[in-house]
Structure formats: structure tokens, C-alpha cells
Amino acid sequence: MDGEKFDPIVILMQGLSTAVSIEEGRSLAEAEGLFFMVTFALDSMNVKTAFEMVIREIYSNMS
């Protein structure tokens, strides 16, 4: 990185089974400049993908 400035903070808002609709979650995430993804831990739906997305974005911010 050699003194280069980068923003290492990446925030992912995950939607679980809640009272908030997917559209509401997506809309809030977009308004706040966050990533949004629906995950389901019981069968691991999108859990790995969510972590990979955050890691890719951190790496992208560093380069």
C-alpha cells in the first residue's frame, strides 16, 4: 500500500427472515450506500457469497 489512502470499511446489510420486505431492505441499503443480500443460514443460501462479496470489495478498495 506504500502510504496510499484507501477505505477499508465495507458494510453489507444482510436480510434474514424478518418483518421487513426484501424491497425495503434493498431500498434502505441503496439509500445508505451499502451492499444488500438475502441470506438463509439454515441451508447456507448466499452466506459464502456474502463473505466473498465483502472480501472482493475490500480488495478492490485497496488497489
Sketch the domain layout of the chain as residue ranges. 12-62
Alpha-carbon span 5 to 26, nearest angstrom: 29
Residue 6 has pLDDT above 60, yes or no: no
Per-residue model confidence (pLDDT) at position 1: 41
Residue 48 has pLDDT above 50, yes or no: yes
Query: Residue 10, CB half-sphere, CA atoms under 13 Å: how many?
Result: 19
pTM over 0.85: no
Read off the pLDDT of residues 24-38 as tens digits, 9 standing for 90 and up.
988 998 999 888 888
Region 6-11 average pLDDT: 71
Residue 27 identity (one-letter amino acid): S
